[in-house]
Amino acid sequence: MKNATPVIAIHGGAGTISTSTTSPEQAQAYHDALQTVVRAAQAALLEGLSALDATCLAVEMLEDCPLFNAGYGAVFTHEETHELDAAVMDGATLAAGAIAGVSHVRHPVRAARAVLEDGAHVLLAGAGAEAFARDRGLEMVEPFFFSTDARRQQLYRVRDTGRVVTDHEGAAMTKPPLDEDKKFGTVGAVALDMHGHLAAATSTGGMTNKRVGRVGDSPLIGSGTYADDRSAAISCTGSGEMFIRVAAAHDICARMAYGGATLEAATHAVVHGSLPAIGGPGGLIAVDRHGNLSLAFNTEGMYRGHARGDAAPVTAIFAA
């Protein structure tokens, strides 16, 4: 399909995002960040760049924004370290690349794309992933680069309870903006380009107080990230273990390919059916080969934005 109307959608995480604890100024900071990212990716698509280029650009920008849990501003492990994950997938070829458990790669999504382009493997982890990134000339940083005081305080609040929580899900001892301890901060993007191709990219710092070595759904192709030109592109955010157990992203494509479900029906079945059935909070963004969008979540809110063609971008935080 040529001359398709390009579509971009992004997310910055889902969770308990209450209007009662959100000031207009706090919400506006998120809207501004989302608008900036959507506009950049939208411009790239309108210039003829690929869906893969646009999604990687969007996620890279989100990795640089400390409002979200990916790259700079990533959450801490129990040992007060950072372990970052990312994945990308090209719907035109089903090529995919992912990295997990890295602490020195400035932009994890770039490393994931480098794995895709290399083609020998799909997922690299830990020291091997970092060696690969260095070999490819990607920017490397010391782990403290990703640290912020806000994330460190979140770790201390959660660690004192003895719990491991998905991102900042645990009850906060204070009330930071937008119930920061109760949201899932994974970031992601999906796109349809003017050539009719789909792509998805996802990046995350994982869980606050997670055990060192834990890997969630984001870098697992078919769980938190998936793209297939025959059906849809999906990027997920939420309780990673639950998304892994239901193979959430691929299940949406399978429902469409094998059962003839629409994008809306398939995403609704997973987000409001399969995931809640096993106690899985979260959400996802998805675009199908016809340009239909679904931004579904079963939490109180999800940071999200999208744009179609050259129309003004739309951003939202709370449920409609």
User: Could you tell me which residues are annotated as the binding site for substrate?
Assistant: 214-217, 237-240
* Chain position carrying tokens 């449920």: 319
User: Rounded to the nearest 5°, which phi and psi values hold at 290?
Assistant: -95, -5
DSSP letters for the chain: --SPPPEEEEEEEEE---GGG--HHHHHHHHHHHHHHHHHHHHHHHTT--HHHHHHHHHHHHHT-TTSSSSTTPPPBTTS---EEEEEEETTTTEEEEEEEESSBS-HHHHHHHHHHH-S-SEEEHHHHHHHHHHTT--B--GGGG--HHHHHHHHHHHTTT---STT-SPPSS--GGGGGGEE--EEEEEE-TTS-EEEEEEE---TTBPTT---STTSBTTTEEE-TTSEEEEEEE-HHHHHHTTHHHHHHHHHHHH---HHHHHHHIIIIIHHHTT--EEEEEEETT--EEEEESSSEEEEEEEETTSPPEEEEE--
Cβ neighbours around 186 below 10 Å, total: 34
| Catalytic-residue membership of 186 | yes
Annotated binding residues, as ranges? 214-217, 237-240
Active-site hit among 186, 204, 267, 315 = 186
The residues, ordered by sequence, that sit 6+ positions from 13 with a Cβ below 8 Å of its Cβ are: 68, 69, 167, 183, 184, 185, 186, 187, 237, 302, 303
- Between CA 40 and CA 52 the distance in angstroms is 14
Q: What is the set of active-site residues?
A: 186
